[in-house]
Amino acid sequence: MFSLLKRLFENKQRIKERLPFYDIVCPYCFLKFHHEEVVFRAAHFRDDDEEFALQEDERLNDYRAKFGLAPIDELEAIIHPLTIPSEDRIYSNNVLIGVSDKYSVITRSRLCPDCHNDLPITAGKYPSNIVSIIGGTSVGKTVYMTSLIHTLQHITANHFNAACIPLTTEVSMRFRVNYEVPLFGHGSMLQSTEKTIRQEPLIFQFIFKNEDQSPLTLCFFDVAGEGMTDQDYLKIYAAHIKNSAGIMFLVDPMQIKMIRDKLIYQMGEQAVGRLDLGDEPREVVISLFGDFIAHLENNHTTIPTAVILTKSDLLNALKSDGDYISANSNVFRNYIHKDYLHLDEYENINGEIRRFLSRIDTPLVNSLEVYFKEISYFAVSALGSNPVNQQVNGIISPVRVDEPFVWLLYKLGYIEGRGPE
């Protein structure tokens, strides 16, 4: 009875009241700012007025250069709201959404004041809750991201009366052509990102059909961990993590020596595959500490963090002796959360994976629990099986791939958590 009352109280605490307005976090450069600090793109240009003539946008081109994108020659002028009389500023639900310029032409094209990228239409009206997917080199971030987004769009969104929508048509096309079709259409494994490649983040919004509910932004940097050496780029990446509302931290069991040696013994090195050299999971945690956690008060973060053991299908080879994982483990059974987080299912997988990781890599678990104060453990298989020669055999059947995301929805107050009826 006490446990039930505690859960009901925690659910009420998590479902937060809506404020009149919220600070905005730019989903491109991750700057955090007040909603009245936005700038606007003029809705027209004039050859007879230098202020409103087409011109280069240096800030936007500086941002694009960080990702190897070509500069844009000329665009409409930038309008700063402070230059506009208060009676010509347009508000909606207490949020500045537009201005009428000196020619009485209205623009509602809101931009980030730093990078001059377009802001989501909901910016300022709802919390800028951004979820980040992070992890070391060769951990499978790209494959997991592709499987997660595919699952959110085709399955999860329906179960929570929502839709998972790309932020722009460019994001939609890039995801479909470069990720979804190769993997889910052709069964071809996605190659690890080259260290010299830096792409703009892939940004999706999980939008609820209930208009009173705020959207959740899912942001993914498809970049090789060892390729992040440019300081300007690192600043964006650090701000991306620091201003996130939730974190998905991926851990590859193949990069934990005890498990890799056991899998090679059981399956053979050819079946296990080549391991690209990269940081061990605990070294990634240490790197994150140096980049941003050390600068926080009390030297830890309270950002809810899902620690996700990837490639869980490989653990099938370990269940025969029961030393590491049991044959009837929850890891091998897919579970679909509908309408709310099923707390017993979540708590079972959380406890099992924590015990598993504690046994095979105690320093990793200790490091995580020192630096991350809101943490839970999950296991996922993005494909449902181990690919052979970079090709997936049969139908891709992800296992528990959206469970960490559903837990973050719960932790951020979007959905309830319930035990057995």
**Does residue 155 share a domain with residue 95?**
no
Asked whether residue 169 is domain-assigned, the answer is yes
**Does residue 290 share a domain with residue 255?**
yes
**Does residue 328 share a domain with residue 369?**
yes
Among 111, 139, 174, residue at a domain's last position: 111
Say what the pLDDT of residue 223 is: 53
**Does residue 205 share a domain with residue 83?**
no
Taking a C-beta distance cutoff of 8 angstroms, is the pair 236, 29 a contact?
A: yes
**Cα radius of gyration rounded to whole Å, the chain:** 23
The Cα 67–Cα 260 span in angstroms is 35
**Does residue 104 share a domain with residue 211?**
no
Asked whether residue 74 is domain-assigned, the answer is yes
Which tens digits make up the pLDDT trace of 210-230?
888 888 888 887 655 444 445
Say what the pLDDT of residue 284 is: 62
Say what the pLDDT of residue 34 is: 95
3 state DSSP class of 267: helix
Bridge partners (DSSP) of residue 163 are 207
Asked whether residue 293 is domain-assigned, the answer is yes
3 state DSSP class of 412: coil
CATH of the domain at 139: 3.40.50.300
Dump the DSSP string for 105-138: -EE--EE-TTT-PBPPTTBTTB---EEEEEE-TT
pLDDT bracket for residue 172 (50, 70, 90):
very high
Higher pLDDT, 109 or 129: 109
**Does residue 179 share a domain with residue 89?**
no
And the tokens for 403? 């469970």
Provide the domain count of the chain: 2
Asked whether residue 223 is domain-assigned, the answer is yes
Q: Rounded to two decimals, what is the model's pTM?
A: 0.84
And the tokens for 211? 């208009």
**Does residue 221 share a domain with residue 82?**
no
Its domain, for residue 76, covers 32-111
**Does residue 178 share a domain with residue 79?**
no
Sign of CA dihedral 76, 80, 83, 85: positive
Phi, psi of 29 (to 5 degrees): -105, -10
Residues 6+ apart with CB under 8 A from 386: 271, 311, 313, 314
Dump the DSSP string for 5-70: HHHHHHHHHHSPPPPS---EE-TTT--EE-GGG-EEE-S---TT-GGGS-B--HHHHHHHHHTTPP
Say what the pLDDT of residue 280 is: 61
The answer to whether residue 292 scores a pLDDT higher than 80 is no
**Does residue 103 share a domain with residue 136?**
no
Among 81, 111, 141, residue at a domain's last position: 111
Say what the pLDDT of residue 13 is: 45
**Does residue 324 share a domain with residue 263?**
yes
**Does residue 361 share a domain with residue 298?**
yes
Say what the pLDDT of residue 326 is: 80
Asked whether residue 280 is domain-assigned, the answer is yes
Among 63, 78, 111, residue at a domain's last position: 111
**Does residue 156 share a domain with residue 231?**
yes
The answer to whether residue 263 scores a pLDDT higher than 60 is yes
Which tens digits make up the pLDDT trace of 354-385?
998 898 888 888 888 888 889 999 999 988 87
Higher pLDDT, 51 or 257: 51
Asked whether residue 119 is domain-assigned, the answer is no
Of the candidates 373, 378, 371, which has an alpha carbon nearest to the alpha carbon of residue 405?
A: 378
Angle subtended by helix axes 362-371 and 343-360, to nearest 10:
120
